[in-house]
């Protein structure tokens, strides 16, 4: 009588359970020169400059942490495009595609309500794998001569 083979369940994608630190959100300390007109406008309207900048960043990133409307997000994207950020490294069409992909990823995130623990675990691994793939694909698209670790500088 032969030995029973022991089956070991290995989670090949365990490393994606949490987003790799290089791809995660970061706290950044910044010193900004805030124009006097913006300071005065914010004081009149009782809006902190920090709130204004934070809201814009979260809205522009299509983050699920932001409750911005689709109209607000589109205006933010149009501002970004009209300011020519990222151009000529990428075409306007490519940058729009990046935003549309972020929007699609946000839509998928909105479907997680009611997922059981096992499905939620699978969802996060899949999302984190895609996040890394998405960044690398766009970062390497124009064959930049810098290492991907440059992400730590941003």
106-149 pLDDT tens trace = 888 888 888 888 888 888 888 888 888 999 999 988 877 788 88
Query: What confidence tier does 67 reach under pLDDT thresholds 50, 70, 90?
Result: confident
Given a cut of 60, whether residue 1 has pLDDT beyond it is: no
Residue 119, class by beta-carbon neighbours within 10 Å (0-12 exposed, 13-18 middle, 19+ buried)?
A: exposed
Cβ atoms 112, 120 nearer than 8 A: yes
pLDDT per residue as tens digits for the range 91-109: 999 999 999 999 998 888 8
**Would you say the C-alpha torsion 66, 69, 70, 75 has a positive or negative sign?**
negative
pLDDT at position 92, please? Answer: 96
pLDDT at position 5, please? Answer: 67
CA distances from residue 19 to 37, 46, 51, 107, 131 in whole angstroms, order as listed: 40, 36, 26, 19, 8
Respond yes or no on whether the N-terminal peptide bond of residue 88 is cis (omega within 30° of 0).
Answer: yes
Mean of the pLDDT values across residues 18-47?
A: 89
């Amino acid at each position: 009588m032969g030995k029973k083979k022991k089956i070991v369940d290995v989670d090949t994608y365990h490393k994606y359970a949490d987003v790799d630190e290089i791809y995660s959100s970061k706290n950044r300390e910044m010193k900004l020169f805030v124009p006097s007109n913006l300071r005065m406008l914010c004081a009149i309207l009782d809006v902190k400059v920090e709130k204004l900048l934070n809201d814009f960043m979260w809205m522009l990133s299509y983050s699920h942490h932001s409750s911005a409307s689709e109209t607000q997000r589109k205006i933010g994207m149009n501002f970004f495009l009209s300011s020519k950020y990222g151009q000529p490294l990428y075409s306007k069409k490519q940058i729009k595609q990046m935003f549309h992909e972020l929007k699609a990823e946000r839509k998928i995130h909105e479907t997680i309500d009611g997922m059981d623990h096992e499905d939620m675990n699978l969802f996060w691994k899949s999302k984190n794998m895609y996040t890394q793939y998405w960044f690398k694909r766009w970062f390497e698209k124009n064959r930049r001569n810098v290492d991907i670790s440059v992400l730590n500088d941003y």
